[in-house]
Amino acid sequence: MTESSLLQVEALTLAIKSSGRAVVDQVGFSVARGEIVGIVGESGSGKTLAARAIMGFVPPAVKLVSGSIRFDGEEITTMAPKRLRAVRGSKVGMVFQEPMTSLNPSMTIGRQLEEGLALHRKLDAEGRRALILDMLRRVGLSDPQGALEAFPHQFSGGMRQRIMLASVMLLKPALLLADEPTTALDAVVQRDVMELMVGLTQENGTAVLLISHDLGMVARYCRRIVVMSQGRVVEQGPSADILARPKHPYTRKLLAAMPQRGEPRDLPQVKTPIVAVRDLIVDYPGRQRFFRKSAPKRALHGISLDVQPGEVVAVVGGSGSGKTTLGQAIAGLVKASGGDILFDGKPIFKSEAAYWDYRLNCQMVFQDPYSSLDPRMTIGRLVAEPLRLVPGMAAQDKTARVAEVLTEVGLANGFADRYPHELSGGQRQRVAIARAVVRRPSFVIADEPVSALDVTVRAQVLELFAELQRKHGFSCLFISHDLGVVEQVADRVIVMNEGRIVEQGLRDQIFDDPQHAYTRKLLSAVPGLESTDDGGVRLFWRLGDARQDAPTPRA
Amino acid sequence: MKLPPLNALIGGGLIGTLVIVASIGALWTPYDPLRLSFRYKLAPPSPMYWLGTDEFGRDVLSRLMAGAATSVWISILTVTLAVVLGTLIGVFSGYVRGWVDRVIMAFNDALLAFPGILLALGLLAVVGANKYGIILALGIAYTPSVARVVRGTVLSLREKEFISASRVMGNSEAFTMARHILPNCIAPLTVLATSMFGYVLLAESALSFLGLGVPPPAPTWGNMLAGSRPYIGQAVWLGIFPGLCISLTLLGINLLGDAVRDKLDPRMRGTR
């Protein structure tokens, strides 16, 4: 393989200049021409740094200690800057994670796409234009002519990522580096963009190095996988082998952390649901302009749902489906323009007493653990804050309760005096969960509680959440776009699209026998996982997707 | 024992010296700062008059010491007034939003568009030129910029999830503002307040120059600096020493402000 390999990285070591700590340690892997290789790892594994070194982009605080990167027979690490610039763009392309910031907002799409072509290819304006139009058509833009004169903000995230891809592929590079190219996108859009990327690169014989934390996605599209942890390559090999027979403990841990369907639970049937939502309507007011108001936008079109005591109800949908608005409206953060919320059978909008009962019993866990904790408060004070409003609770009871809850979430020793910035993302989310359950609520709304977390941390937090849920028996409205997570935690699933509920039912029913077209589309966009007896997992595509295995291009 | 950060040491040292000198100056000075002496007018620094004398033969060192208390006191009160008023307006406006915010901010921006010194001049014409008149006038003149900064900070804080979390907990709006929004405004406020301190010292001297400051013969650094202008060619010490006092005070305040901000911000702890 070394003979024909396009990219050969050997014993690459990068260290932080000030401390000398190795962040990429003796990393070696290769990519053959036209091959798709995935690098999987969690945050801090060094996967992005290793990939950027290939482009010759090493942040100023990091230095190259040793190792070699050979691209197409040339050594990148010692290449002259001028030659390196020629290689970048024309032979190696890169697609970044954030489609919102990777295109220049003040340049038209046409000019941005032309930039690279003008730099690296000897073509006249006509020739460039023809190439660009052809490529825009190829990436699925409906109006390529119009797109040339349009600005990035006029496109959605998925469209921008397509345009980004077009701009890179225009130069027909030999290697495409894709750093979390679809992480910021919706599941459904994610699949479309990935398929487009694979199709386009295969057509041009471009090799792809796909960097991602999402093992399922990498396994689906890559022929070989490199698993990285803490700056080292712990395991690499063909995708099928890694999944079926993981050798390294870290790979096993990663696979075990993939969400899997839990056993269906039998919940006692009760007459009154703990929370009932009736015909809930939310309108976002239009923008106020001079003397007139633009029409309000309806975000929820009459949503009705019931949550039984002790039940975990998941709300799934793509971005813009209204699932977050629904959570916020039920939590009272967004004012409903119509409809009712009943807590324990009593409408909360009608009486002050019912509202306060609900307010004390309904709590929320937010998505972003970096913004949901006040940076100026210690963990102890953060967790104690909700108890302030509990009527007639003595100070020592409060202290005892805070200590108890912190123990429950695994942050007992000395965490109470720390500040949020001293904690990792997973620990912060534990604090957020502690804050939500400290008042012993009967209903918790969790809005994407684990989507900002790494795979293994996510598994731990989900486990903690399930444990607390079993122990204290609160009901939960679990809002998520991640069907894998939903499959693991939910008793019942509600599928939303464009502000309406399109389908709801028991989890197994939704996942095994979806009725609505939108549900089917959502499900087909993400791979399912099944553990096998020997510690590996089997990847399968839901709803009889034709391809049962990861594609093996140019096998 | 770990030494405090360098900016706290230098800033604290400068401001500490200033406070001591100002306190001494209020009680005792080498000469009477108001005593005229035509024999020694415009005398250069000498063992007798350490920092020289001015055009009326008054001792510059004595005047600087006596003026320290006035100048610093005016600046501190002015900045405090502007910060308190501006914060109240900014937090309120940023938190309620809607048309109330729009009206307040339109008014605020109109004031902001006015040169501060002109506004102060107008107000001084109404309240009369004395120490408290200056404080009130400059305080009001500098309020809009504080209100702007605070409102901006509040608007961005409002969107943070911990504010939503506070509302979900059932906390009242007033409690949320006091507990979660105000403390998080401190960092930008300290930066603003320390830089404003300098502007106020200078504005006070500008007002003195225009004859609307603390009325002579009482010394302030500002009117000493302003009064030195005609003699800059013959008696350079007249301008240098008040100017040096103002610069060193600003340096001290800025360093101390940075140190205080770092100290108050838990994120900065343990990072150096």
- Residue pLDDT, tens place only, A165-207: 888 888 888 999 998 888 777 777 888 888 888 998 988 889 9
A372 touches chain B (CB under 8 A): yes
Whether A52 has a pLDDT exceeding 90, the answer reads no
What pLDDT is stored for residue A398 in this prediction?
92
Q: How confident is the model at residue A1 (pLDDT cuts 50, 70, 90)?
A: very low
Q: Nearest by CB to B184, from A368, A376, A432: name it.
A: A376
Read off the pLDDT of residues A87-109 as tens digits, 9 standing for 90 and up.
Answer: 887 888 888 877 777 888 888 88
What pLDDT is stored for residue A382 in this prediction?
93
With both helix axes pointing from N to C terminus, report the angle between B131-158 and B182-209 in degrees, rounded to the nearest 10.
150
- Residue A379: enclosing H or E segment and its boundaries? helix A379-384
Q: How many CB atoms lie within 10 A of CB A22?
A: 17
Read off the pLDDT of residues A215-235 as tens digits, 9 standing for 90 and up.
Answer: 888 888 898 999 999 888 999
Answer yes or no: do B162 and A373 touch at CB < 8 A. yes
Chain B CB contacts of A352 under 8 Å are none
> Over pLDDT 90: what percentage of chain A?
25
Strand partners, A66: A13
Whether B272 has a pLDDT exceeding 50, the answer reads no
Q: How many CB atoms lie within 10 A of CB B194?
A: 21
In angstroms, the separation between the Cα of residue B196 and the nearest Cα of chain A is: 25
Of the candidate ranges A197-211, A314-328, A393-407, B126-140, the one whose mean pLDDT is the lowest: B126-140
Nearest CA in chain B to A330: B168
With both helix axes pointing from N to C terminus, report the angle between B60-96 and B131-158 in degrees, rounded to the nearest 10.
40
Read off the pLDDT of residues A476-514 as tens digits, 9 standing for 90 and up.
Answer: 999 998 888 898 889 999 999 988 999 999 998 998 888
Look up tokens 């005609």; give the residue: B230
Read off the pLDDT of residues B22-42 as tens digits, 9 standing for 90 and up.
Answer: 888 888 887 777 777 777 777
Q: Nearest by CB to A372, from B161, B167, B183: name it.
A: B161
Answer yes or no: do A366 and B267 touch at CB < 8 A. no
DSSP code for A4: T
Q: What is the dihedral of CA A340, A344, A349, A355, to 10 degrees?
A: -150
Gap between the Cα atoms of A70 and A68, Å rounded: 6
What's the mean per-residue pLDDT of chain A? 85
| Chosen from B102, B103, B164, B185 to mutate, greatest number of chain A CBs within 10 A | B164
* Cβ B174 vs Cβ A393: under 8 Å: no
What pLDDT is stored for residue A552 in this prediction?
40
* Cβ A218 vs Cβ A38: under 8 Å: yes
* Cβ A506 vs Cβ A446: under 8 Å: no
Chain B CB contacts of A360 under 8 Å are 170
| Cα dihedral sign, A518-A519-A522-A524 | negative
Grouping H, G, I as helix, E, B as strand and the rest as coil, residue A178 is strand
In angstroms, the separation between the Cα of residue B188 and the nearest Cα of chain A is: 14
What pLDDT is stored for residue A554 in this prediction?
38
Q: Nearest by CB to A421, from B165, B170, B267: name it.
A: B267
What pLDDT is stored for residue A548 in this prediction?
42
| Cα dihedral sign, A405-A409-A411-A415 | negative
Q: What is the ipTM of this complex?
A: 0.76
Gap between the Cα atoms of B204 and B136, Å rounded: 12
Mean per-residue pLDDT for A441-452? 90
B7 touches chain A (CB under 8 A): no
Burial class (CB in 10 A: 0-12, 13-18, 19+), B243: middle
Gap between the Cα atoms of B3 and A262, Å rounded: 56
Higher pLDDT, A434 or A297: A434
Chain A CB contacts of B179 under 8 Å are 374, 385
B269 touches chain A (CB under 8 A): yes
Provide the CATH number for the domain formed by A5-256 in this structure: 3.40.50.300
Nearest CA in chain A to B187: A376
Read off the pLDDT of residues A514-546 as tens digits, 9 standing for 90 and up.
Answer: 899 999 888 887 777 777 766 677 777 776 544
Chain A CB contacts of B261 under 8 Å are none
| Domain residue extents for chain B | 6-31+41-268
Mean per-residue pLDDT for B208-236? 79
Strand partners, A310: none
Domain A309-335+348-513 - what CATH class? alpha beta
What pLDDT is stored for residue A4 in this prediction?
67
| Chosen from A19, A330, A376, A448 to mutate, greatest number of chain B CBs within 10 A | A376
Read off the pLDDT of residues A371-408 as tens digits, 9 standing for 90 and up.
Answer: 899 988 999 999 999 998 888 888 999 999 999 999 99
Dmax over CA atoms of chain B, in Å, equals 77
Answer yes or no: do A374 and B267 touch at CB < 8 A. no
Strand partners, A237: A225
DSSP code for A41: -
Provide the CATH number for the domain formed by B6-31+41-268 in this structure: 1.10.3720.10
Answer yes or no: do B160 and A372 touch at CB < 8 A. yes
- Residue A234: enclosing H or E segment and its boundaries? strand A232-238
Burial class (CB in 10 A: 0-12, 13-18, 19+), B28: exposed
In angstroms, the separation between the Cα of residue A417 and the nearest Cα of chain B is: 11
Pairing mode of beta strands A92-95, A36-40: unpaired
What pLDDT is stored for residue A403 in this prediction?
93
Q: How confident is the model at residue B80 (pLDDT cuts 50, 70, 90)?
A: very high
What pLDDT is stored for residue A474 in this prediction?
92
Whether B8 has a pLDDT exceeding 70, the answer reads yes
Amino acid, single-letter form, for residue B153: T
Q: How confident is the model at residue B12 (pLDDT cuts 50, 70, 90)?
A: confident
A328 touches chain B (CB under 8 A): yes
Read off the pLDDT of residues B173-202 as tens digits, 9 standing for 90 and up.
Answer: 888 888 888 888 888 888 888 878 878 887
Q: Which of A451, A452, A455, A411 is nearest to A435 (CA)?
A: A411
| Domain residue extents for chain A | 5-256, 309-335+348-513
Residues 6+ positions from A273 with CB-CB distance below 8 Å: A306, A307, A308, A309, A342
| Six token digits for residue A520 | 């089917």
| Chosen from A324, A334, A374, A437 to mutate, greatest number of chain B CBs within 10 A | A374
